[in-house]
Homo-oligomer: A and B are copies of this chain.
Amino acid sequence: MSRTKKNQESTILDIAAALQLSPATISRALNNNPNVTPATRKKVTEMAGQLGYRRNNMALGLRNNKTHTIGLIVPRISMFFHAEAITMMQNALYEKGYNLIISQSNDSPEMERRLVDTMYSSRVDALIVSCTLDTQDFSHFDVFADNDIPLIFYDRVPPAFDGALIIRGDDFQGGYLAGTHLAETGCKRIAHISGPLTTNLYRDRSAGFFKALKAAGLPVYEHLVFYQPLTYDNTRTALKKMFEHREKPDAVFTANDTAAIAVHEFARENGLEIPRQLKIVGYSNDPRCAIIRPAITSVEQFPGKMGSKVVEALMQMLAADRETALNEPITIPVQLIRRMST
């Protein structure tokens, strides 16, 4: 591990001094500016290499008012959906020469607010956001719209936001597919465990589901519908209540996969045979659904596709002059993945 200690990070001025040239020429040479002699360019790049020169992005950003950095705020990167989407975005952005600053709100609106401020101070060239489940007030994002900095919401989005682009999965359709599928397999009393209706996701999934039930001529049983944070424990409690009731469900549609897995375990523990006695449909197509036995039917959201769509739209926004674009919301189709649980 032999290394030569260089105590100074070298700058464009060092190269200029070493070569008896002006910093302007060095800058031009390094940026492939056409009117600089090939000979000089060669000398410059060689000296740059020799001095271990690397451009200082801070100075560049200050000068050009561009950071080539995109901010991203998600509730949690460990969620399968987000991990996939982020990976796709990051790779695509990197190829375009952009860095991504990822941060997590941990589903806390307060944290989200702070992060938005930090992102603005860092002068990101654009901001991509998937909101907190509880974000009701979206005014902290105004600073981006006000300053014409591209802003994209995806997945968990505000109902509408002037000056931002909205990209989301077709949650209504997802709920509808789930409901229709369960109805077609002959279920009569279909329970529904949804998340809090403060977010678009669950509102739409539920709406689609109910529409499917109605279309199939099935009733909605009040005691079989829950709106609550979709944790493992919450789901267990809900199930316990349901099964204490006289009219027990013969199927459950949960608005995420963690809940679906909770249902699965509950069924196993209580000797309910899946799918004969209880059918299950989850949402998101988390890999865990495919591993558990019997495997769980779920709604695929194509996170990677959503990620590429976000980047694609973003590139357009960055290229376009302010007046164009900021188009209509974009919706990504979903697909029901049938497995053994139904």
Stretch at the interface among A33-41, A87-95, A328-336: A87-95
Contact of A291 among B62, B117, B291 (CB under 8 A): B291
A89-106 CB mask vs B (1 if < 8 Å, else 0) is: 011001000011111101
A146 near B3 with CB under 8 A, answer: yes
In the complex, residue of chain B having the shortest beta-carbon distance to the beta carbon of A94: B103
Cα distance A123–B142 in the bound complex, in angstroms: 29
A57 near B102 with CB under 8 A, answer: no
Chain B residues, Cβ within 8 Å of A268:
293
In the complex, residue of chain B having the shortest beta-carbon distance to the beta carbon of A106: B91
Interface of A (DSSP majority class): mixed
Chain B residues, Cβ within 8 Å of A123:
56-58
Chain B residues, Cβ within 8 Å of A103:
90, 94, 99-100
Cα distance A100–B80 in the bound complex, in angstroms: 20
Stretch at the interface among A4-12, A18-26, A209-217: A4-12
In the complex, residue of chain B having the shortest beta-carbon distance to the beta carbon of A102: B102
Chain B residues, Cβ within 8 Å of A84:
78
Which one of A7, A86, A146 has the highest number of Cβ atoms from chain B below 10 Å of its Cβ? A146
What distance in Å separates the Cβ of A216 from its nearest Cβ neighbour in chain B?
A: 31
A55 near B121 with CB under 8 A, answer: yes
Chain B residues, Cβ within 8 Å of A122:
57, 69, 99
Cα distance A83–B161 in the bound complex, in angstroms: 31
Contact of A54 among B58, B100, B120 (CB under 8 A): B120
A271 at the interface (CB under 8 A from B): no
Residues of A within 8 A of B (CB): 1, 3-7, 9, 52, 54-59, 61-62, 67, 69, 76-78, 80, 83-84, 86-87, 90-91, 94, 99-104, 106, 117-118, 120-123, 142-143, 145-148, 160-163, 261, 268, 287-288, 291-293
24 contacts between A and B (CB under 8 A): A1-B142, A1-B163, A3-B145, A3-B162, A6-B146, A7-B148, A52-B146, A57-B121, A58-B58, A58-B67, A59-B62, A76-B87, A77-B77, A77-B102, A78-B80, A78-B87, A91-B104, A94-B103, A99-B103, A99-B118, A99-B122, A100-B101, A100-B103, A288-B291
In the complex, residue of chain B having the shortest beta-carbon distance to the beta carbon of A322: B7
In the complex, residue of chain B having the shortest beta-carbon distance to the beta carbon of A162: B1
What distance in Å separates the Cβ of A256 from its nearest Cβ neighbour in chain B?
A: 15
Cα distance A163–B87 in the bound complex, in angstroms: 31
Contact of A62 among B7, B9, B52, B58 (CB under 8 A): B58
B61 near A58 with CB under 8 A, answer: yes
Cα distance A142–B162 in the bound complex, in angstroms: 47
Cα distance A57–B78 in the bound complex, in angstroms: 28
Contact of A147 among B6, B69, B101 (CB under 8 A): B6
B78 near A83 with CB under 8 A, answer: yes
Query: Would A86 and B77 be within 8 Å (CB), given that A3-B142, A102-B100 are in contact?
Result: yes
A101 near B104 with CB under 8 A, answer: no
What distance in Å separates the Cβ of A55 from its nearest Cβ neighbour in chain B?
A: 5
B52 near A143 with CB under 8 A, answer: yes
